[in-house]
């Protein structure tokens, strides 16, 4: 019985340390990646502003009524978690800014997509200005999942949709 109490105390200590470390981390972060595509800016724009049926991590997608004149939608991920987004800025085919529009989530922020023509193709740069409110999730994001995981998965899916290969570059 003594070992059970020791084990429970150790587990409580680890959980407390994770939460304390998470609380000491900044709530905001910036992560940025870029990738060169052989497609035109218009072709990239068409894919990233359309339904996300090309992303394997998205099970469902639903357009929602506009909020303050802005387009909104809901994506349902592979864990059945629904996240509502809103279009903050849209300048076809060069700049798209989306924001998580659900204040009840333990995270939030924006993604800025910048598309620059480059020879016979273009460069897509995505910058995540993220906020993580919960100290446990802040710890997990910083030390386990990493700030670039979502952007990397997005680029990988986009490469698959467009039939392109290669690695993202310009990590910030």
Domain-embedded: residue 172: no
What average pLDDT does the chain have?
92
Sheet harboring 107-118: ordered strands across?
A: 28-37, 121-132, 107-118, 95-100, 82-91, 70-77, 58-67
- Is residue 79 included in any domain, yes or no? yes
């090309």: which residue's tokens? 54
Q: Per the structure block, which two tokens stand in for 13?
A: 């200590």
Which structural domain range is residue 71 located in? Answer: 2-162
Note whether residue 168 is domain-resident.
Answer: no
pLDDT digits (tens, 9 = 90+) for 52-67: 999 999 999 999 999 9
pTM of the model: 0.88
- Residue 9 maps to which CATH number? 3.30.530.20
Domain count, the chain: 1
The span from the CA of 147 to the CA of 138, in Å, is 10
Comparing 33 with 9, the larger pLDDT belongs to 33
Q: How does residue 136 score in pLDDT terms, banded at 50, 70 and 90? A: very high
Reported as a single tens digit per residue, the pLDDT across 91-126 is: 999 999 999 999 899 999 999 999 999 988 999 999
């Amino acid at each position: 019985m003594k070992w059970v109490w020791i084990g429970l105390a150790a587990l409580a200590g680890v959980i407390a340390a994770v939460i304390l470390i998470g609380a000491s981390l900044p709530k905001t972060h910036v992560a940025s990646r870029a990738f060169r595509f052989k497609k035109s800016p218009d072709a990239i724009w068409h894919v990233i502003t359309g339904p996300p049926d090309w992303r394997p991590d998205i099970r469902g997608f639903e357009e929602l009524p506009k909020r303050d004149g802005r387009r909104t939608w809901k994506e349902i991920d592979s864990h059945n978690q629904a996240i509502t987004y809103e279009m903050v800025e849209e300048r076809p085919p060069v700049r798209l800014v989306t924001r998580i529009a659900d204040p009840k989530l333990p995270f939030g922020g924006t993604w800025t997509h910048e598309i620059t023509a480059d020879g016979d193709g273009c460069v897509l740069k995505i910058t995540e200005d993220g906020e993580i409110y919960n100290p446990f999730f802040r710890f997990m994001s910083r030390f386990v999942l990493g700030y670039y995981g979502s952007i990397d998965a997005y680029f990988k899916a986009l490469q698959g949709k467009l039939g392109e290969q290669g690695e993202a570059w310009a990590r910030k």
